[in-house]
Amino acid sequence: MPDRMSQPSRAVIFFCKVNGIEYEEIKVHIPKGQHLTPEFEAINLMQKLPAIADGRFKLFESHAIHIYLAYAFPGVATIGEFTKESSQAISNRICFRVSKCRKPETEMLMRLDQLRDTIMVNGIDYEEIKVHISKGQHLTPEFAEINPMKQLPAIADGRFKLFESHAILIYLACAFPGVADHWYPADVFKRSKIHSVLDWHHSNLRRGAAPYVFNTTIAPILGRPLNPQVAAEAEIILSSSLSKLESFWLKGNGRFLLGGNQPSIADLSLVCELMQLEFWMRRIALGYWVRTRKCSNGLRTQEMPQVLTLMKYIESSCWPKKDNNISD
């Protein structure tokens, strides 16, 4: 259901045409507010474009849609299938670059925990290399060879190098046979839904949490001024995202995202984002922060028991012995 004003919608249409995927295009006029109608909300509760309906299966977030189309339709060209079964030839020792976490020197802490905990829970052999952001070690030529963008996290598996935390999590889940299927299911429908969560996370929760934390806590540590206006705007996005998390992504009978009974990489990534708030808000337990803080738009987050429950399950399953001092 695209609108040609939308770049992601155009990309989905072009992908279908290039790969000979039969589709019906239903125009949704954003200026007329047609994406806000009950009819469209039945396709996508987030009321954004693009969104697709393949029979009873519904999906939104453009990257998730592309991945679903690539997996679900046999005519889509591929350069070879990358599965757990075909990954035996890949090195089983992985080196990932992380930041030093003994002191509050970096905003990357929780995304690094995503990788560390995924690796440890699934028994992946790895070497951890410390990178001090406050000392500019991520700007060195040595690190640029791993990630030319000079950001963390990044990994090197033999000659293969990769950055962006969600991409790394997907790679780890696919490349190492010992990783349980529930982290990144082989089922195309479940996998596509996980991608929908991952994309939503970066364009919503992350977009609120990162500038809010930076402009309330981290900026002075890195010699930058606080920006209260940016922090206030980010807090509104953060509050709205937490509300969507509670009312949409955590609905259902399961204890995890999308009603699942076991965690996925989307659960791990999202909880680590929330833990960043715990760490930087003077290490006050997030449960206390969630129950007592009133956000700028008046939403009280103590109305989000599902969020707290999700955190509890992820924390107990991924780092049951971890104390409040998040350090090496």
120 belongs to a structural domain? yes
* % the chain with pLDDT above 90: 45
The pLDDT of residue 98 is above 80: no
Co-location of 208 and 270 in the same domain: yes
Tell me the pLDDT band of 300, cut-offs 50, 70 and 90. very low
Co-location of 193 and 269 in the same domain: yes
Q: Which of 179, 207, 235 is the last residue of a domain?
A: 179
Task: Tell me the CB-side half-sphere exposure of residue 84, using CA atoms within 13 A.
Answer: 14
Contact by Cβ (8 Å): 198, 66: no
26 belongs to a structural domain? yes
Co-location of 230 and 120 in the same domain: no
Q: Which of 124, 156, 179 is the last residue of a domain?
A: 179
For the chain, what is the domain count? 3
- The answer to whether the pTM exceeds 0.85 is no
The pLDDT of residue 256 is above 70: yes
327 belongs to a structural domain? no
Co-location of 156 and 238 in the same domain: no
Rounded distance between C-alpha atoms, residue 286 and residue 290, angstroms: 6
Co-location of 310 and 186 in the same domain: yes
Residue closest to 99 by CA, chosen among 133, 125, 76, 127: 133
- Residue 220 contacts by C-beta under 8 Å, 6 or more apart in sequence? 226
Tell me the pLDDT band of 291, cut-offs 50, 70 and 90. very low
Please give the residue range of the domain that contains residue 172. 85-179
Query: pLDDT tens for residues 185-218?
Result: 999 999 999 999 999 999 999 999 889 888 888 8
Q: List alpha helices for 85-136, DSSP H.
A: 109-121
Rounded distance between C-alpha atoms, residue 224 and residue 209, angstroms: 18
Rounded distance between C-alpha atoms, residue 279 and residue 108, angstroms: 11
Co-location of 130 and 63 in the same domain: no
At 171, which CATH number?
A: 3.40.30.10
32: how many CB neighbours lie within 10 A of its CB? 10
The pLDDT of residue 89 is above 70: no
Co-location of 299 and 310 in the same domain: yes
Rounded distance between C-alpha atoms, residue 236 and residue 325, angstroms: 29
Co-location of 58 and 89 in the same domain: no
Tell me the pLDDT band of 110, cut-offs 50, 70 and 90. very low
Q: Per DSSP, what are the bridge partners of residue 163?
A: 154
CA torsion 122-255-252-304 (nearest 10°) is -120
- Report pLDDT for 287: 43
Query: pLDDT tens for residues 173-184?
Result: 999 888 999 999
Of residues 248 and 99, which shows the higher confidence score? 248
- Report pLDDT for 5: 62
Of residues 123 and 26, which shows the higher confidence score? 26
Average pLDDT for the chain: 79
Rounded mean pLDDT, 307-325: 67
Strand, coil or helix: what is 281? coil
80 belongs to a structural domain? no
